[in-house]
Structure 1
Amino acid sequence: MGHAAVWDPRAAIEITKDWNGVDQIVLRNPQGASARVSLHGGQVTSWRNDRGEELLFTSSKAIFKPPKAMRGGIPICFPQFGNCGSLEQHGFARNKVWTIDDNPPPFHPNDTYGKSFVDLLLKSSEDDLKCWPHSFEFRLRVSLSSDGNLSLISRIRNVNGKPYSFSFAYHTYFSVSDISEVRIEGLETLDYLDNLCQRERFTEQGDAITFESEVDRIYLSSPNCIAILDHERKRTYVIRKEGLPDMVVWNPWEKKSKAMMDLGDEEYKQMLCVDAAAVEKPITLKPGEEWTGRLELAVVPSSFCSDD
């Protein structure tokens, strides 16, 4: 008795349906920040700060119909990133309907304390095994902390009799005021693979990365903390990651945007994808082994300098 004022994270979760009838989970914190996660793809579709401002980009032309992944939010790319072999581009996890995991394995207390969260589960289906013959259990925890930070923890377990490898990315679409006013700090001097030049390897020369044309790069062995500075909005996104050595940076620019059905012609100006990923060296799991990849997103007033 007498503890009624204590915030209960479980009370901060609401399950609703989207317009296709697919369940989505809404997480809220006491300050009024929120996040939405769809069971279609285990995809975060919205992340708002305590003023209700949307921090993730979603295309006005996004197609919200399974089996297509929605253009925006945070699609999960597994078991591959990119387009190779018989699998669909960026793998199948983002096109599957996940379930709510009622019996998740224990997490570290820091992953639970003061957070509203949901645990999702995806297991390999008969269809998946036809195109990718490896059994897995993919557990995803999405949480919203009391200070409004969004975090995603993925745990992938090999329940196969043999080792296998996969690549992975949290394909995060950030909402920005104007792509030509944005810069990324923390990737200076790194080597990257350029997807616009058959994945040829280059070394980043600039002080900070700025945008004046199409960019599609995989930065290798990147630091675990990088920042996206949006001058016009005077806001900085801080990306922290663990278990994910690469950072993918993508903006389709004008010509490619016009060719994409589910992206408005001018919308490239309002978006920037910066993905914590494991692409260059795939992750290999022995039977029974589990891999964990974490992403934490925060928004702070500019100017912020990464101290990592």
Structure 2
Amino acid sequence: MTTSLVKDAAGMDKVVLREPLGATAQVHLYGGQVTSWKNERGEELLFLSSKAIFKPPKAIRGGIPVCFPQFSNLGTLEQHGFARNRVWAIDTDPPPILNSSGSGSCSSNKNSTVDLILKSSEDAWPHSFEVRMRVTLKRGGDLAQTIRVRNTNTDNKSFSFTIALHTYFSVSDINEVRIEGLETLEYMDNLQQRKRFTEQGDSITFDGEVDKVYLGAPTKIAIVDHEKKRTIVVKKEGFPDAVVWNPWDKKAKAMSDFGDDEYLHMVCVEPAVIETPITLKPGEEWRGRQELSAVPSSYCSGQLDPGKVLQGK
């Protein structure tokens, strides 16, 4: 297991995680953002737009942006908050992941891990805070993120926030994808001024734009990709809600950093805290986690029943 700090083509710092069977992940310090997660065959599991802009202050379109301290544009801050377009630092407490020789690499016989931290700045938000995130590529290729938010105010003031791990998954064809695990749940439809509805289908399929916040979502959600014969399982802790999003054709064409037809090859399934914001008193900390795994299965292959995946069988 190795961890290394390198420059991307645009000169931006990123951490590359590797595990012995060949799986890799990349984490840009800009945004604290996972921008790649590949299995042992080198297949990309996350979506990154071909038109993504790797230059501040624009957020990187794709991968796993961190939406904090605001999801959406309902508050006074910029869309989805500021964490996704700030430069995070390597966290030295816990102990540094990168070695002291300056080469920026180290090895582990277990997992490949990087710890990042984002601290408050006066121009961003009138509160003192620390956001710590550990990104781990596990032996076998599963990807885990643990994120912690701490109130470090010294003036006895609490603050509230919403948060999401805005995960873009790569899919073969959105028309051939279904989402399992959110059936019968209440959701807020962002395309209808957050009106509330109850999911009626036995799974979520796509034939147009979708932007829904599912409330009280289960700890496991499955993304079944028939053509790729693959199911991605999202396991979440500390995030009560889940967002499902695909912009479809008209909105895709309106985004300068998104290809006109790329909506066909992505879907966002995001662990989130949206309906009820988290409130922290000084010294208090909130913690959330997601773990992503990919298993070879589909309706066509018959190798796996997604229902059993969701039940942990």
TM-score by length of 1: 0.92
Aligned residue identity for 1:120: L
- Alpha-carbon distance in structure 2 between the residues aligned to 1:48 and 1:201: 36
Identity of aligned residues (%): 66
Aligned to 2:112: 116
Q: Does 1:296 align with 2:296?
A: no
Q: Which stretch shows the higher mean deviation, 156-165 or 74-83?
A: 156-165
What whole-Å deviation, never above 9, does each CA across 1:241-270 have from its counterpart, x for those lacking one? 000000000000011111111111110000
Aligned to 2:218: 223
Give unpaired runs (5+ residues) of structure 1: 1-8, 107-111
Aligned to 1:73: 63
Q: CA deviation at 1:113?
A: 8.0
Q: Does 1:62 align with 2:52?
A: yes
Q: CA deviation at 1:45?
A: 0.4
Aligned residue identity for 1:39: L
Pairwise CA RMSD: 1.4
Q: Counterparts in 2 of 1:28-177, with a 5 A limit?
A: 28-104=18-94, 114-128=110-124, 132-160=125-153, 161-177=156-172
Q: Does 1:193 align with 2:183?
A: no
- Alpha-carbon distance in structure 2 between the residues aligned to 1:168 and 1:85: 12
Q: CA deviation at 1:19?
A: 2.8
Q: CA deviation at 1:105?
A: 7.8
Give unpaired runs (5+ residues) of structure 2: 97-107, 298-303
- Alpha-carbon distance in structure 2 between the residues aligned to 1:223 and 1:79: 23
What whole-Å deviation, never above 9, does each CA across 1:84-120 have from its counterpart, x for those lacking one? 23200000000000100112289xxxxx982110000
The count of aligned residue pairs is 290
Aligned residue identity for 1:45: T
| Greater than 6 Å deviation, 4+ residue runs | none
Q: CA deviation at 1:272?
A: 0.2
Q: Does 1:307 align with 2:311?
A: yes
- Alpha-carbon distance in structure 2 between the residues aligned to 1:83 and 1:18: 30
Aligned residue identity for 2:295: V
- Alpha-carbon distance in structure 1 between the residues aligned to 2:94 and 2:180: 36
What whole-Å deviation, never above 9, does each CA across 1:116-163 have from its counterpart, x for those lacking one? 1000010001211xxx21110110000000010000000110001211
